[in-house]
Amino acid sequence: MRIVVLLSFILVCSISLKAQLAPVEDAGSVKAAAGVEDKVSAEKNAINFHSGGPVLLQNVNIYPNPVPQSNAILHIQPIGLTIYSYQIVTSTGSIVEIENLIGRDEFDIVLLRKVDIGLYYITFTTSAGTITKTFSVI
């Protein structure tokens, strides 16, 4: 019985080591699979890690979360992408605000004039697709 347990332990360890030592896909194949055609711009938005190729950083940070209703300002920080528009929706699905930003200057805040206390979703249409974030107003 001890030999069977020992052999199964050795088998699990060898499989785990093989998985850890398996080659990581190169950045080109990952980008091709993700549909990224402009390799130069993708390289600019990447950080290289020791284990493999670059990892694309394209996101939108929002803060503060929760937003105080007395202040009603949501700060926006795009990372490695361009925001074309945004839409704010309540947790019940009612649209609060839709804003088209094409042709405008860069922005970094959203004034939340028409919001009550509650949970909201903000969906950004960006150069990397759509990104949805959740925030609450207290």
Same domain? For 52 and 72 the reply is: no
The tens digit of pLDDT for each residue in 32-43 reads 444 444 444 455
- In three-state secondary structure terms, 3 is helix
Same domain? For 93 and 116 the reply is: yes
Same domain? For 77 and 9 the reply is: no
Same domain? For 91 and 78 the reply is: yes
How many CB atoms sit inside 10 A of residue 110's CB?
A: 19
Same domain? For 108 and 130 the reply is: yes
CATH number at 73 reads 2.60.40.3080
What pLDDT was estimated at residue 29?
47
Task: Say how many domains are in the chain.
Answer: 2
What pLDDT was estimated at residue 106?
77
**Separation of alpha carbons 127 and 61, rounded Å:** 15
Same domain? For 18 and 49 the reply is: yes
Same domain? For 87 and 133 the reply is: yes
**Separation of alpha carbons 131 and 13, rounded Å:** 39
Same domain? For 119 and 107 the reply is: yes
What pLDDT was estimated at residue 21?
46
What pLDDT was estimated at residue 115?
84
Same domain? For 50 and 10 the reply is: yes
Residues of the chain with pLDDT under 50: 6, 12-13, 16-17, 19-22, 24-41
Domain that holds residue 51: 2-56
Same domain? For 130 and 64 the reply is: yes
Same domain? For 82 and 119 the reply is: yes
